[in-house]
Amino acid sequence: MNNTADVIIIGGGVNGCAAAYYLAKRGVRDVIVLEAAKSIGHGGSSRNGGGVRQSGRDVRELPYAMYGIQYMWPTLSEELGVDVEYTQKGNLRMGKTEEHIKKLQTLASNARAVGLDVKMIDKKEVKEICPYLSDEVIGASWCPTDGHANPLTTTLGYYKRALELGVRFFTEASVKELKKVKGKIRKVILADGTVFEGETVILAAGYESRAIARTVGIDIPMMRLIDEALVTEMQPPMTDVMFGCATADFYGHQTVHGSFVFGSDSGWEPTDEMIDPSNNCVDPSKLITNAFTLSASCRAIQDYIPALTDAKIVRSWCGWLDESFDGVPFLGPVDEVPGLILACGFTGHGFGTAPSVGLMLSQMVVGEPTVVDISALSYNRFLPVR
Amino acid sequence: MFDIQEKLKEIGPYIEEADDDLLVCRCEEVTKGEIRRALHQGIFTIEEMRRYLRSGMGLCQGQTCGKLVKGIIAKELHVSPVDVYPASSRAPMRPTEMRILAEDGGVCHE
Ligand SMILES: Cc1cc2nc3c(=O)[nH]c(=O)nc-3n(C[C@H](O)[C@H](O)[C@H](O)COP(=O)(O)OP(=O)(O)OC[C@H]3O[C@@H](n4cnc5c(N)ncnc54)[C@H](O)[C@@H]3O)c2cc1C
């Protein structure tokens, strides 16, 4: 077996698969993707709420969130040959109290300041957008260009197209260590001792990227949190907007299939230290949903969308978030380790931006300027100013 | 370590079979042919298959078609069905109304 490639991507999530696809598309086809789990997209990429949003994003991320929505999401299904169910029908962030509305107003004016169309709407306008909402909702912020997509088919769609273009994928390939040769990144070593070699290495393994980067002396300040989600049985078509609320009790949307997918947490989720950190990513039985959360989520949802009170829940699940210390990802090359590029710390919103992130990663590999400036997302932003 | 391209080469291209129209997952209306075609696109695990085609993702959560899908995957990949890793079971055990799940002693309204 040939274990050498121009580019080695660690992590077969939506960001790793998207990077592989955009590299192959531009002709860099000698690419290997290493995924620790048995399934591609085993991490957050197949567990998320499918939000493709700009509202609420940090100004450092907004330019590429907007780029993806303008230029990439609308044609993605066609490009991948898989229906990614991209639906751009707006994001409604609801409020029930004056305090909520104040919070939403601040978020809306922050968004407008950086050029995003977000406005406040009143109770009547909220009902016009979705008549099924509770009368307790007194207003909302409204971003008409936000939307949602299907994370399952998006992730596997990037994978499928990359495979078709010749990218080599290995599953059950858990990376343990990186090694430099002559001052440059070179070796990627698996837990079973297998060695891969590449000119460039993209580290897109979610939270696990932290341990992997440490093996070449780089620390990426992030931690790991659990977020849960649930899905209802199929409902008649009711709405195509993305929902959220001022208190962030839940978010969600009705899928093309007809089921509603909601994400939430109760605040009682176990943290890292309570679960065996050595393998919880690979073994799905270690990712256990919490008895409090499903119940708390249902209370939050039915209080905002009473029409769903009798909807049956068919499934619930959870996933890890790679929470960066300042809420935005680590994206870009590592000065101390030439050839190593980071793409991790997506902090619970790395699905919606995956197309533009994948594209920019491919640009970094060939040394082209990225479509938007992302220098503010460098891993060394925490270094003391000298 | 599992080499996907190597396996794709080994199993060869998708060849239509007479019973490809057979409905395998009744809840989500997924046919045998769709599952076989997905396998030749690199969708090898039950977890991936559920996400790609929705087989086993409907009301019964795969209780009816789980074994059938496993059999199709095993045959197409030339492995034994016992080597096909099962899907994870999730709460709630059977579809349950939101208002029932909401009652865990917590309060509905502030
Ligand atoms: C419940 C929930 C809801 C969410 N909702 C949204 C939303 O609405 N909108 C949005 O934009 N985002 C959302 N997110 C966040 C989003 O899912 C992630 O930011 C995104 O999927 C990150 O993709 P990724 O490819 O970087 O990471 P991941 O999908 O985590 O992929 C990393 C991969 O690396 C693999 N890996 C780990 N360690 C190793 C190793 N040592 N060697 C090799 N491979 C390894 C993992 O198995 C995994 O497959 C949500 C997340 C969760 C959990």
Query: B110 lies in a domain?
Result: no
B45 against A267, higher pLDDT: B45
B86 against A286, higher pLDDT: B86
pLDDT at A269 over 90: no
Would you state the pLDDT for residue B50? 97
Q: Are the CB atoms for A301 and A250 separated by under 8 Å?
A: yes
**Residue A333 corresponds to which tokens in the numbers above?**
């090359």
ipTM of the complex: 0.94
Q: Which residue among A351, A357, A361 has the greatest number of ligand 1 atoms within 8 angstroms of its CB, and so is best to mutate?
A: A351
Option in A38, A194, A315 nearest B90 (CB): A315
| pLDDT per residue as tens digits for the range A22-59 | 999 999 999 999 999 999 999 999 999 999 999 988 99
Would you state the pLDDT for residue A256? 95
Query: B59 lies in a domain?
Result: yes
| pLDDT per residue as tens digits for the range B24-61 | 999 999 999 999 999 999 999 999 999 999 999 998 88
Average predicted confidence (pLDDT) for chain A: 93
Q: What is the mean pLDDT of residues A314-334?
A: 94
Q: What is the distance of C-alpha A304 from the center of its chain?
A: 25
**pLDDT band at A281, cuts 50/70/90?**
very low
Q: What is the mean pLDDT of residues A89-108?
A: 96
Would you state the pLDDT for residue A280? 47
Average predicted confidence (pLDDT) for chain B: 93
Give the CATH architecture of domain A4-49+152-222+326-382: 3-Layer(bba) Sandwich (3.50)
- Give the closest-approach CA distance of A166 to chain B in angstroms: 8
Q: Are the CB atoms for A380 and A335 separated by under 8 Å?
A: yes
E strand segments, chain A? 4-10, 31-34, 51-52, 91-95, 119-122, 139-143, 147-148, 168-171, 175-181, 184-190, 195-203, 222-232, 242-245, 251-254, 260-264, 312-324, 330-333, 340-344
E strand segments, A28-174? 31-34, 51-52, 91-95, 119-122, 139-143, 147-148, 168-171
| pLDDT per residue as tens digits for the range A163-220 | 999 999 999 999 999 999 999 999 999 999 999 999 999 999 999 999 999 999 999 9
- Give the closest-approach CA distance of B2 to chain A in angstroms: 5
Query: B20 lies in a domain?
Result: yes
- Give the closest-approach CA distance of B36 to chain A in angstroms: 15
pLDDT at A260 over 60: yes
State the DSSP code for B87: P
pLDDT at A273 over 60: no
Smallest CA–CA distance from B52 into chain A, residue:
A153
Contact A38 B88 (CB under 8 A): no
**B9 in reach of chain A (CB within 8 A):** no
Polymer length in residues for chain A: 386
* Number of folded domains that form chain B: 1
What's the CATH number where B46 sits? 1.10.10.1100
Q: Are the CB atoms for A173 and B1 separated by under 8 Å?
A: yes
**pLDDT band at A272, cuts 50/70/90?**
low
Q: What is the mean pLDDT of residues A65-89?
A: 98
Rounded Cα distance between A198 and A205, Å, is: 17
Query: B57 lies in a domain?
Result: yes
Polymer length in residues for chain B: 110
Please name every residue paired with A318 in a beta bridge, in sequence order, or none if there are none: A228
Would you state the pLDDT for residue B89? 85
Q: How far is CA A206 from CA A14, A199, A376, in A?
A: 10, 21, 19
Query: B96 lies in a domain?
Result: yes
Closest CA to A192 of A179, A175, A204: A175
> Which atom number of ligand 1 is nearest to the Cα of residue A350?
19
Closest CA to A352 of A159, A174, A137, A88: A88
Q: For the residues of A159-206, what is the DSSP string, one character each?
A: HHHHHHTT-EEEES--EEEEEEETTEEEEEEETTS-EEEEEEEEE--G
Would you state the pLDDT for residue A255? 97
> For chain B, how long is the longest CA-to-CA vector?
61
Contact A311 B97 (CB under 8 A): yes
Rounded Cα distance between A180 and B107, Å, is: 56
Would you state the pLDDT for residue A285? 52
Rounded Cα distance between A96 and A105, Å, is: 13
Query: B62 lies in a domain?
Result: yes
| pLDDT per residue as tens digits for the range A338-377 | 999 999 999 999 999 999 999 999 999 999 999 999 999 9
Number of Cβ atoms within 10 Å of the Cβ of A275: 16
Domain extent, residue B99, equals 4-104
SS3 at position A91: strand
Contact B4 A163 (CB under 8 A): yes
pLDDT at A274 over 80: no
| Predicted TM-score (pTM) of this structure | 0.96
**pLDDT band at A282, cuts 50/70/90?**
very low
pLDDT at B110 over 50: no
**pLDDT band at A292, cuts 50/70/90?**
confident
